Amino acid sequence: MTEWPVREAAPLSDESALVHAARGGDRDAFGQLYGIYARMVHGILLSRVPPAEVDDLVQDVFLQAMPRLHSLRDPSRFGAWLAAIARNRAIDYFRRGRPAAEVADPLATENIEDRAASSAEMAQAAAVLAAIQALPDAYREPLILRLVEGMTGPEIAARTGLTAGSVRVNLHRGMQQLREKLGTSSSKVSALDRSGESK
């Protein structure tokens, strides 16, 4: 998984100032917005497209967003606007079809010992991800942002423009459905979300 720079959530007024600066061509300001929102974009895409495609699509989303900043009427809604671009990019991915050449399996180039050591963990992670991706949209995205990207409920709300109550309800219901899909006694979900689902 891609390691994103960890940045503390900036107050909305600071983020609005970054948006204004980025509109004026300040690439450093846009880089700071990338640092703040990359995990959110990654999570939104991961909830919708094959994992091998996500990193490239994250770059596409930011490349699409940069020249369109002038169309954003309310800079305080940057997160919700960027989330919409990410969702649309995922839709475009499937609309355009998969590339003709399939990406090679990265495990095929590893030695046998490394594959054996990591295969159980990878299989478990793949099973959890597949179960999350099978959930309804309303639950899938917040769960990926929480369990994979490590965002808290309030952070998900602030970044995506959803209400805190909506995020809390969707996380709770999504977690229930995920546990049902994986088996109620499964420790897979608990291992991913050690700090609880109410965050």
pLDDT of residue 67: 93
pLDDT of residue 194: 46
Residue 106 lies in a domain: no
- Residue-wise pLDDT for 119-159, tens only, equals 777 888 888 889 999 999 899 999 999 999 999 999 999 99
**Average pLDDT over the chain, rounded to whole?**
82
For position 145, which CATH number holds?
Answer: 1.10.10.10
Range of the domain at 187: 114-192
Give CA angle at 32 (145, 79), nearest 5°. 45
**pTM for this model (two decimals):** 0.76
For position 43, which CATH number holds?
Answer: 1.10.1740.10
Specify the residue for token string 């990265």. Answer: 106
Clarify whether residues 123 and 73 are in a common domain. no
What is the spatial distance between Cα 149 and Cα 135, in angstroms, rounded to a whole number? 17
Question: Residue 16: how many CB atoms within 10 A of its CB?
Answer: 16
pLDDT of residue 190: 54
pLDDT of residue 96: 82
